[in-house]
Amino acid sequence: MIFRQFFIEGLGCASYLIGCGSTGVCAIVDPQRDVEGYLHTAQAHGLHITHVIETHLHADHVSGNRELAARTGATIYMPARAGATFDHVPLDDGDELNVGSVTLRALFTPGHTPEHLCLAVIDRTRGPEPWFLLTGDFLFVGDVGRPDLLGQDETRQLAGQMYDSLFGRLLQLDDGLELYPGHGAGSLCGRNMSAKLSSTLGFERRFNEALQPRPREAFIRWITSDPPPQPANVAYIKQLNREGPPILGELRRPKPLTAQVVHDLVQNPAPGFSQVALVLDTRDPVEFAAGHLPGALNVPLSSDQFATRAGWLIPPGKAIVLVVGRGDGERERDSREAERAARALARVGHDQVAGYLFNGVAAWRALGLPVLSIALWTPERLRNEAFEPGQSSAPRGDLTVLDVRESSEWRAGHIPGAVHIPLGQLAQRLTELNPARPIAAICTSGVRSSTAASLLAAQGFKRVTNVMGGMDGWQAAGYPVE
């Protein structure tokens, strides 16, 4: 048996190749959108991809199942209860697929989603028992899948199904069974998953909090309390995965666009679009703050959360123009950065990258078009602006300190009197902020807060500041925290 794990940093997605060297066939489980890695690995081992299998309908990334099928002729297998409307073979509990000398056995494990399947992997050349289990988004290392992504009405029912699947099904299996999950650290599909990407059932039985004995009702209360923020694009991605993701073919580098073309795209909808293009500026916060196109959204490509954060904030189906590089005419470098950004965006369902601004903001300036800036404050400047001398219980009345970190970070310590709106919820909660008041956005370091500041500025907030150094710098200076 040939077994390979693939992992996307930032998105935290894991996928798998399982093949039989003697017969030259293999399966791909839970494939990512850009499929070249699977094709190259299969070719390197002399394998042909014949099976593409999903454990469930993913909510955080668009699947590459149809892409692989189109490129290889493989058959797609989906959980029978997924309601997928594209061409596939349904899989149900106990169904088995033979991939050469390897057998994949489906185990129905609802909880994260109603249709979820795990896959027990049996190498028949070694024995008749499962060697390891591909657990999808059902069980992670140190965590389990969250049950709240289908809405409030279904959360309690799924939490109960999760309990039944864990204690009535999974924990009946042998402790020596190796576990390989569909996600690791960086994913929002759980609350506390490890960066380690494999475990054993015996280890998880002892140390995974979700698997500790407790009554069913106590488990439901525990797993439904304090869930992570739900990304705004969950429904859109699940719909794409249910209907069948569009086939992209080989992902090509976005084309360079002149400043005049970009100006036209942000003023008038491109053919086939009902809205003007969105400018996604992928440069670092300092470069963005110094000068950017009006209305641009700043999501630094250097962040390993680039795709996740862009997916939260960009409306589905939106045409996108990228700003990359340093605007110094290094065409090959800028082209590579644009390709990297487009590949990451495709993973979260944003396929419509019109191109990138050639020569960046410098080209925009050369046309005499307006360039905007955002003020950058240090933690010291924020301290001086936010509090009266000798006072530290609440900011002055004319300044809003906006903390865009996650809830767990906020609870660990925040600036007295700050307003808390996690970045993933900001677009939906703008009405909670007063656009007439100055706003200082803060996160851990200044990256997420740059994205927040750019979003606020694009929505008409006039006095927006980004605090570079963030809460790390604030706390290092000994400033007040509650």
Q: Which residues pair with 13 in a beta bridge?
A: 8, 183
Identify whether the C-beta of residue 235 lies closer than 8 Å to the C-beta of residue 154.
no
142 three-state secondary structure: coil
Please identify every residue annotated as catalytic. Answer: 443
Would the CATH topology of 253-366 be identical to that of 375-476? yes
> Which token pair is 382?
């924020």
CATH class of 375-476: alpha beta
Sorted by where each begins, the domain ranges of the chain are 2-235, 253-366, 375-476
pLDDT at residue 107, as a whole number = 98
Decide if pLDDT at 390 tops 90.
Answer: no
Q: How confident is the model at residue 201 (pLDDT cuts 50, 70, 90)?
A: very high
Architecture of the domain made up of 253-366: 3-Layer(aba) Sandwich (3.40)
Distance CA 209, CA 197 (A): 17
Structure confidence by residue, pLDDT tens digits, 37-61: 999 999 999 999 999 999 999 998 9
**Interatomic CA distance for residues 188 and 166, integer angstroms:** 20
Q: Which residues contact 383 (CB under 8 A, 6 or more apart)?
A: 474, 477, 479
Amino acid at the residue 461: F
Q: How confident is the model at residue 386 (pLDDT cuts 50, 70, 90)?
A: confident
Q: Domain spanning 2-235 has what CATH number? A: 3.60.15.10
Kindly report the CA angle at 267 between 266 and 269, in degrees rounded to 5? 80
- pLDDT class of 473 with cuts at 50, 70, 90: very high
Distance, CA of 267 to CA of 277 (rounded, Å): 8
